[in-house]
Amino acid sequence: MTTQDESAYIDKSAIYDAAIEPQYLIKESKFLLLSILTFGLYPVWWIYKTWVFFIQRERSDASPAIRVVFNFFFLLPLLNRIRQFARQKAYQGNSYPLVSFILILGTSFCSIFPPPFFLICILTCVFLLPAVKALNYAIQQSPEILSYEDEGFRTRQMVLVVIGSIFWVLIVIGLIGQAIN
């Protein structure tokens, strides 16, 4: 490596904001798969990691865990921040935070329905997809944020896939058994 190549590498690495941890971008299809297999728990993790990102970016001392616990109150502000951040990076896609929030709440209430209709609540993740896409775009367009494409499945994600698949098989067996009786 020549001196010029080394300086280019140093200059490029110097633009990253050290206060923001590297961001792993998840494809929408992978987000959807993990969300459905984990019965809607993966979006909770994604929301937590997104709050961590914004808190680090804004140099805030807010607690991302509290924001996830009280998600009902903090989800719409998060969706609005994602939209604003994406617009700052010239994102041209459509993102309607209020509509997404209302649809997420509406499908969440489906959990009180009797079997098998309670499974509709798992589809709340579909209404987070525009935010996932907008956030991924904005992070990719930010030279100060170190980001990685999340290719394949990491070990933790594979464990989620296996455990989620087992639970899905058990639920299907239970629903079939209930239908027979």
- Encoding tokens for residue 136? 């991924």
Q: pLDDT class for 3, splitting at 50, 70, 90?
A: very low
Instruction: Determine the Cα–Cα distance for residues 96 and 175; give it in Å rounded to an integer.
Output: 36
Q: pLDDT class for 67, splitting at 50, 70, 90?
A: very high
Instruction: Determine the Cα–Cα distance for residues 177 and 170; give it in Å rounded to an integer.
Output: 10
User: What's the pLDDT tens digit per position in 100-151?
Assistant: 999 999 998 888 888 788 888 888 999 999 999 999 999 999 999 998 887 7
Q: Is the dihedral of CA 128, 131, 135, 137 positive or negative?
A: positive
**Contacts of 44-50 spanning 24+ positions with Cβ under 8 A:** 44/68, 44/71, 46/128, 46/132, 47/71, 47/75, 47/78, 50/78, 50/82, 50/135
Close Cβ partners of 113 (under 8 Å, ≥ 6 residues apart): 120
Instruction: Determine the Cα–Cα distance for residues 35 and 124; give it in Å rounded to an integer.
Output: 9
The average pLDDT across 26-51 equals: 92
The dihedrals phi and psi of 56, each to the nearest 5 degrees, come to -65, -40
Q: How far is CA 42 from CA 7, 12, 179, in A?
A: 40, 33, 29
Q: How far is CA 28 from CA 54, 81, 101, 154, in A?
A: 20, 19, 18, 16
Tell me how crowded residue 138 is: count the other CB atoms within 10 A of its CB. 20
pTM of the predicted structure, to 2 decimals: 0.83
The pLDDT value given to residue 9: 40
Instruction: Determine the Cα–Cα distance for residues 22 and 131; give it in Å rounded to an integer.
Output: 19
99, pLDDT greater than 50: yes
Instruction: Determine the Cα–Cα distance for residues 159 and 131; give it in Å rounded to an integer.
Output: 25
